[in-house]
Every structure is written in structure tokens, then in C-alpha cells.
Amino acid sequence: MIPKIYAVGAIPYKCPVCGGVVHYNPKKSSKHRGLGWDCENDRSHYWAHQGQVLAQAFKGKKVAALDEVKAFPFPEKYDPNREYPITCCPHCGRQV
């Protein structure tokens, strides 16, 4: 399905992912994405649709040259896999 760009200030009449009923959700609203909405069938359809919109916008464009990125150099004697000792109880949060 090809994503459609909706006018700012409007939500789709039906879910662009599954065709279900949508309802306005102010928590998902953004000045960049427009008004937020929820699908009755699956609340994640809003984010799936936003991903489709972004994919369509960047189709054919090179966003980042990830093949050319060098590995981040860690400081000497730094072990990213080190397991730190437990300093507080995971259940109550008190110091051990």
C-alpha cells in the first residue's frame, strides 16, 4: 500500500495499514507528523504508517554511509562487556 500524506490538522478516515476505524490521540500528535491517531485493531499501526511515510520520503536517497563509518575506539582498559557488581537490591532498591 502506498502511504498517503494527509493535510496537517486532519487524521485519516480509516487506518492506512488495515482499513480499520481510527480515533484522534493527542499524545501522538507532533508539529512534524501532524495529528496523532490510534487504530481500533492495533495501536502500533500509527507508527507503522509513519515508517512507511519516512521510507517513501527517503526512497532512493542515501541517508548515511554506514559502510564507511569506523568503529568507536574505546579508552584503554575499558571493557564494554564488564559486569558491574550489584550495589542495590533489584527488588526493593536498598543499598547492598
Residue 23 β-bridge partners: 38
Average pLDDT, the chain: 78
Cα–Cα separations (whole angstroms), residue 84 to 5, 61, 76, 77, 87: 48, 42, 18, 15, 9
**Across 25-37, average pLDDT:** 87
Q: Is the pLDDT of residue 27 over 80?
A: yes
Query: What is the band of 37 on the pLDDT scale with cuts at 50, 70, 90?
Result: very high
Kindly report whether the global pTM for this prediction surpasses the value 0.75.
no
pLDDT on residue 72: 64
Query: What is the band of 67 on the pLDDT scale with cuts at 50, 70, 90?
Result: low
